[in-house]
Amino acid sequence: MYLALVGCSIFKNEVRFLEPQILSRLDCYWLPQRLHNRPLDLRKLVQQEIDTVDRSGNPYDAIVLLYGLCSKGTVGIFSRNHRLVVPKVQDCIAVLLGSNRRYRDHFTRKPGTYWFTRGWIETGFNPGKRTKYRGVYDPYRERYREYRKQFDRELSQYLINEWDQRWIRNYTTLAFIDWGMEGDQRFREKAEESARALELEFENIEGDTEVIVVLDGDWADPPLPQDKRLTVLYYPESIGQREAANEAVRVSKAKYIMKIDAHCSFDKASGGIGKCTSKD
């Protein structure tokens, strides 16, 4: 397929990371991050990009939108010439976590979670970075200076804490979504530093992968590792590749399924469970 991707720049690293595995031809049209804070601008700019794609004359099979509802900023957008594929999610977090279900499950356990990703950190917005002004975090440094031009220190501190930085009190956890990309450790450490500065619990969230191995007529050699995400189906007599795949699908709890053969290995971003081997 030939796809046009219109998306928030927060996904750039992840798309670049996945590109070698994407079989479709892909043209990317990126928009600035943090537009969800200005939903009317978001809608306008996304529609402009879609119109640009429509006028390009390229024979795209579809336009893939890497946005969620995003403060209703994507409501009403349309394409005149192409099918529009939109994730059915509230925002980018569900996309980066892999599903609405996983996002909801985490929200149920920890509703006060502030999310960090590599792309978000790269914007330079770091609510946990302190300044030389006592109790003032870096994103609000200039605002504090503006207050000080009009008010004394005590009132300026009050305005910063009760108006600009008050939102921080709604959070208990800072979570970093770790895709296992090269260089992610540096960004994970920055997120952890922010959590300490904000006095929040830090959580590193990795990929959520279920692996079902069908041993069709033989045991694995070497043995498969013990892991709660690993399900092993063993058939002492071979039932054939097609039936083996059907049996694996029947027991899967996943929304999306990828079938692979033996001799495939997985890195950390794919779940890190191990490798499949076969004598065949």
CATH code (residue 10) = 3.40.50
**For residues 150-160, average pLDDT:** 92
| Whether residues 197 and 227 fall in one domain | no
| Whether residues 144 and 129 fall in one domain | yes
| Whether residues 74 and 130 fall in one domain | no
In the three-class reduction of DSSP (H, G, I as helix; E, B as strand; rest coil), residue 62 is classed as strand
58-69: pLDDT as tens digits = 999 999 999 999
| Whether residues 217 and 265 fall in one domain | yes
- Last residue within a domain, chosen from 167, 184, 205: 205
Higher pLDDT, 209 or 83: 83
| Whether residues 216 and 201 fall in one domain | no
Peptide bond into 222 cis (omega under 30): yes
Owning domain of residue 19: 2-95
Higher pLDDT, 246 or 278: 246
In the three-class reduction of DSSP (H, G, I as helix; E, B as strand; rest coil), residue 140 is classed as helix
Indicate whether 190 pLDDT > 60: yes
> Quick one: pLDDT band at residue 202, thresholds 50, 70, 90?
very high
C-alpha angle with apex 200: 71 to 130, nearest 5 degrees? Answer: 85
Please state the domain count of the chain: 3
Alpha-carbon distance of 108 to 102, in angstroms, equals 10
Higher pLDDT, 271 or 108: 108
| Whether residues 172 and 219 fall in one domain | no
Whether residue 102 lies inside any domain: the answer is: no
| Whether residues 185 and 121 fall in one domain | yes
Q: List residues bridging with 141 in a β-sheet.
A: none
| Whether residues 160 and 217 fall in one domain | no
12-64: pLDDT as tens digits = 999 998 887 787 899 999 999 888 889 999 999 999 999 999 999 999 999 99
What is the share, in percent, of the chain residues with pLDDT greater than 70? 89
| Whether residues 168 and 243 fall in one domain | no
Whether residue 38 lies inside any domain: the answer is: yes
Alpha-carbon distance of 122 to 136, in angstroms, equals 21
96-110: pLDDT as tens digits = 998 888 899 999 999
Whether residue 100 lies inside any domain: the answer is: no
First-to-last alpha carbon distance for the chain, in angstroms, is 32
- The answer to whether residues 199 and 127 touch, using CB atoms and an 8 Å cutoff, is no
Whether residue 278 lies inside any domain: the answer is: no
Q: Tell me how crowded residue 32 is: count the other CB atoms within 10 A of its CB.
A: 12
| Whether residues 129 and 58 fall in one domain | no
Q: Which residues of 120-129 are buried (b: 16+ CB within 10 A; e: fewer)?
A: bbeeeebbbb
- The answer to whether residues 249 and 236 touch, using CB atoms and an 8 Å cutoff, is no
Whether residue 135 lies inside any domain: the answer is: yes
Indicate whether 280 pLDDT > 80: no
Output the CA torsion 84→85→86→87 (10° steps).
180
Whether residue 122 lies inside any domain: the answer is: yes
- The answer to whether residues 12 and 43 touch, using CB atoms and an 8 Å cutoff, is no
| Whether residues 25 and 44 fall in one domain | yes
- The answer to whether residues 66 and 7 touch, using CB atoms and an 8 Å cutoff, is yes
**Per-residue DSSP letters for 185-227?**
HHHHHHHHHHHHHHT-EEEEE-----EEEEEESS--SSPPPP-
- Last residue within a domain, chosen from 149, 171, 205: 205
- Number of H helices and number of E strands within the chain? 9, 9
| Unique residue bearing structure tokens 């039932």 | 239
| Whether residues 71 and 136 fall in one domain | no
Alpha-carbon distance of 106 to 96, in angstroms, equals 13
Q: Cβ-count burial of 193 within 10 angstroms (0-12 exposed, 13-18 middle, 19+ buried)?
A: middle
- Last residue within a domain, chosen from 95, 121, 139: 95
Sheet (strand 2-8) strand order: 25-31, 2-8, 62-66, 84-85
Whether residue 152 lies inside any domain: the answer is: yes
Whether residue 280 lies inside any domain: the answer is: no
